[in-house]
Chain A
């Protein structure tokens, strides 16, 4: 569905019935197929937007940081009539979700951060999204653990339309996370007020946001648990959609 927000529009996939869960993709893009969304929709009403600036979702020109993105998406939740909702985000989407949580913790019934960005990683020697070819970056992200599910999404030659979506996704990621690289130094201190029950879902061998990042988030969040997915790399929801859906629906 297209949600109108002022003169802009947010394109959302809406799947399933039940309590609402907003799912934010990251720099891996709003890809189809998205088995994790279908699996979640078995128990939940899943609302998965294409982030502004990607596909049919337009970007207001004032949305140019993760903080302004978080404000915009909270407004989208208002307009969807969601008083309380679950919120999940992966990687860059996790960072956005975490900032949303700092702004409106009372709105969130549950928070799920999957291999979330937002905490400083550059000094750890992780692959840099903006100086590594995109396909190579995605390959590196698995930490050598490429699953059939991952190959199904990323392994095939992209169509022209998919290449366009890649361009838009990377452009948005650069806008939000080029500098400082994919983090906000105020995030960890601000998360202390987020009392929402939170699950950190992390790949065992995540080379993009190593486990040490999950541990820092866990220390900052008053009510967080860490769920490590064995054998998974960074994009856990793409690599092991069943495991991620089980953790979220079981929480």
Chain B
């Protein structure tokens, strides 16, 4: 079984890009005086039209996420995006990938909201839980030292709410509730599927495996992804569970057009376009403080920080800065005719034994490009890949 997830950040596109370049970062402190709600209001309508279209062309799920203080995503509350999806779509799964538990602040309220989304959508919620990039903790001023502790505790509480009848009392380290007894519970039993999107943090990979949750690698580099799934599978087997493709997911940017030549010409323009570069939080980081925003104290374990120092010299990964040819060569993007794209995605599917393919496009102001892309992947790529995967 191969499922296709439509991954879209809902980027905000209408700000002066030279202002971002001058500031040197598109996160945390890049001033929201460049944010125009009129422009954003129109963009929401556009993205919602594209959600409906994604369902029509054959996606199995639509993946929405959470970011803050950044034009990369106009979805600071993914539950609101999910609620919209619950009402404007009827078939696709609604994959929140995910709520950032450490900055949410109130896991009881979150459990209630997710239960509402599951009921309103007729049981279509996939509930992702993430720690969030470090910068998200700074955006909501949550002590980065406590990130993992809060994540663990909030997750444990939400699970308990979903699986044990109330009322009960919760006296944890970060959360205390005299009475836990929400009259809002998920439709899906025992609870909505939980998946864990991530970008290689070993601790999170192991955490997902320990709970038997599928791990969805977010456009991670090929060799790193081999390694993380090997770790994941080992940990899962230690629990006595044999990994299946349903446990593995991979998200990748794809561009497809009638011919290879046309696809490359279009993709090169999209990839090299200013809009792509300046909406990428990991690319725009020339601001002298940006390094600290992405790796504040205590956010990762000491061991992970040492590894990062050793292997990456402390520099986070920049997607667009590597250049189009290199991105192609290292399979960070898949571009071509439907036949070429099917072959490449199938190779990736086999390599990672993945049952979930997250498919993303490039941000563009021209919505006709996005629409053409949606039609093309739906009509020419998914049916053939499904056929191949079914053997």
| Interchain CB contact under 8 A, B293 and A174 | no
| Interchain CB contact under 8 A, A164 and B306 | yes
Interface size class of B (residues with CB under 8 A): 10 to 19
| Interchain CB contact under 8 A, A163 and B309 | yes
Distance, CA A134 to CA B314, complexed state (A): 13
- Assuming the A-B contacts A132-B289, A132-B292, A133-B291, are A174 and B143 also in contact, with contact meaning beta carbons closer than 8 angstroms in the complex? yes
Q: Which B114-138 residues have a C-beta within 8 angstroms of A?
A: 138
| Interchain CB contact under 8 A, B28 and A131 | yes
Binds B, one of A11-19, A165-173, A219-227, A240-248: A165-173
What are the residues of chain A within 8 A of B296 when measuring CB–CB?
Answer: 130-131, 174
A-B contact count (CB 8 A): 51
| Interchain CB contact under 8 A, B289 and A136 | yes
Which one of A133, A163, A164, A175 contacts B145 once the chains associate, using CB atoms below 8 Å?
A175
| Interchain CB contact under 8 A, A167 and B289 | no
Distance, CA A136 to CA B291, complexed state (A): 11
Q: Which B124-169 residues have a C-beta within 8 angstroms of A?
A: 138, 141-145
Distance, CA A130 to CA B292, complexed state (A): 7
- Assuming the A-B contacts A131-B296, A164-B306, A167-B302, are A175 and B143 also in contact, with contact meaning beta carbons closer than 8 angstroms in the complex? yes
Distance, CA A170 to CA B144, complexed state (A): 11
Tell me if A179 is interfacial: C-beta within 8 Å of chain B. Answer: yes
Q: Which A106-163 residues have a C-beta within 8 angstroms of B?
A: 130-134, 136, 163
Distance, CA A178 to CA B138, complexed state (A): 10
What are the residues of chain A within 8 A of B138 when measuring CB–CB?
Answer: 130-131
What are the residues of chain B within 8 A of A132 when measuring CB–CB?
Answer: 289, 292
Distance, CA A66 to CA B126, complexed state (A): 41
Distance, CA A133 to CA B297, complexed state (A): 10
Distance, CA A179 to CA B289, complexed state (A): 19
Give a binary string over B270-296; 1 marks a CB under 8 Å from any A CB, 0 the rest: 000000000000000000110111001
| Interchain CB contact under 8 A, A178 and B144 | yes
| Interchain CB contact under 8 A, B309 and A178 | no
- Chain A, Cβ-Cβ closest to B290: A133
Tell me if B172 is interfacial: C-beta within 8 Å of chain A. Answer: no
Give a binary string over B344-374; 1 marks a CB under 8 Å from any A CB, 0 the rest: 0000000000000000000000000000000
- Chain A, Cβ-Cβ closest to B29: A131
User: Shortest CB–CB separation between residue A64 and chain B, in angstroms?
Assistant: 9
User: Shortest CB–CB separation between residue B49 and chain A, in angstroms?
Assistant: 38
Distance, CA A131 to CA B141, complexed state (A): 11
| Interchain CB contact under 8 A, A131 and B293 | yes
- Assuming the A-B contacts A130-B144, A131-B138, A163-B309, are A175 and B298 also in contact, with contact meaning beta carbons closer than 8 angstroms in the complex? yes
Give a binary string over A160-204; 1 marks a CB under 8 Å from any B CB, 0 the rest: 000110011011011100110000000000000000000000000
Task: Name 16 A/B residue pairs within 8 A (Cβ), A-sorted.
Answer: A130-B297, A131-B138, A131-B292, A133-B289, A136-B288, A136-B289, A170-B297, A171-B297, A174-B145, A175-B143, A175-B145, A178-B143, A178-B144, A178-B145, A178-B297, A179-B141
Assuming A164-B302, A167-B302, what are 15 further A-B pairs, CB within 8 angstroms? A130-B144, A130-B297, A132-B289, A133-B288, A163-B309, A170-B297, A171-B297, A174-B297, A175-B143, A175-B298, A178-B143, A178-B144, A178-B297, A179-B141, A179-B142
